[in-house]
Amino acid sequence: MDENTGKFLTQQLYPDLKNWIPALYRRFKTPLDKLRAPIFSSPSDLLNALKSNQVKPDSWVTLECKPSMFGPFLRNHFITPFIGHHTSMRLGPPLVAENPVMAIMGQATSHLKPVGMYPPIDDDLYQICLYPSDATVCGMIGLIPGVNDLVEYLPAVSNGKNLSFCGMSCNVRGVVRQIDPKLLTDIGVPIEQYEELRQSGDIWFLDLSVDESEVEPHGEAVTTEMWGGLYASGHIEIRDGELKVDPLVDGMVESIKKVGFEPHVTQNQAKRREITVYAQGIRAVIDIQSPIYSIHMDSEIALQYKDNKKKFDAVCKGYLDVINEVAGICNVDVANPDDLDFSYTNSEKSYSVLKSLGADHIADPVGIAIRDWHRKRGK
């Protein structure tokens, strides 16, 4: 090939080379980034590295964790401070402490964190949570300092193929993303709250939706137990008349008893004077100052979710029937029959509440911001 022919071919190929080089760079860069990705043994280790700027946003990381479809309940909740009349009234792993008195106090005043499944973000895109690989509970809530922070987790966005190993101890490889202030302020979150979230480490999530992301289970890929609280929050809108409290309490007792529990009734003699109906593994609160109530059931959700959800739904459905029955007896016009917020999958409108007067009642602004991040990325 003479010199002129070589120049001609180079001139013809040069435009294509300019396009090939970036494509080749991207093709080899991602595998290299994955190989160089730092490894973290728990979500808390990764969060600490993010807070100290040891890991930058949009970096690949490998995290040892337990992926789960269950995340913290979206709304704030109304719950009794005590689990019952003795420390074994709560199911699931007990709280332990070096100080036996603190262990007893913690056990008596702690609840399994209310959890639910987030609605899908988009076709084949889901929001999940990454818990410590040895976690047996999604978290705890309670009066004793430190109880609410016992289990640190990291939110994640995942495609469908990476959901197969939920409930198992895994190594996941993905890209760290950061919620910026504008994403939160666009959905009505004050800038002051962004700073609180930044300092607490609640502005990051892991992107497992990219094609190169991986989820690899440890060992024999066995699903292990995970406990959380199935939670229902309800209110009764009365157009006319007045509901009697006693039949509502009796109805809650019967709804709980029908599914196999042995309920007790007690009333707080101070402040709101709310009434609690409780049994081992379940508790319900009925406010007598406002027409609101809640139900919380301790549930194993990784292996026995179907049976526990069936039992919980029966309690909820039974109590909705009680409200309508009592309303009929009392000649009360209820504006929102059968209204009970206990299923994320049937309440995608929950994510629009931040743009309403009820914005203060949303407990998970980062969850909404993650959805906005995906929508803007898609554009």
pLDDT, one tens digit per residue, over 85-144 is 999 999 999 988 888 888 899 999 999 999 988 777 777 888 899 999 999 999 999 988
CB atoms within 10 A of CB 231: 24
How high does pLDDT run on average in the chain? Answer: 82
The pTM assigned to this predicted structure is: 0.82
Q: Among residues of the chain, what percentage have pLDDT more than 90?
A: 49
By the 8 A CB rule, do 137 and 192 touch? no
For residue 72, pLDDT over 80 is answered with yes
Closest alpha carbon to 61 in 88, 87, 41: 41
DSSP β-bridge partners for residue 332 = none
- Compute the C-alpha angle 360/156/31, nearest 5°: 150
Helix (H) or strand (E) segment spanning residue 318: helix 305-329
What per-residue confidence (pLDDT) applies to 35?
65
Quick: pLDDT tens for 152-164.
999 999 999 999 9
Q: Averaged over 51-74, what is the pLDDT?
A: 90
Burial class of residue 25 (count of CB atoms within 10 Å of its CB; 0-12, 13-18, 19+): exposed
- Domain boundaries defined on the chain: 1-36, 39-73+113-224+365-378, 229-346
The residues facing 170 across adjacent strands are 65, 217
pLDDT at 229 over 90: yes
Is there a contact between 244 and 331 (Cβ–Cβ < 8 Å)?
no
Topology at the third CATH level for domain 229-346? Double Stranded RNA Binding Domain (3.30.160)
DSSP letter for 361, please. G
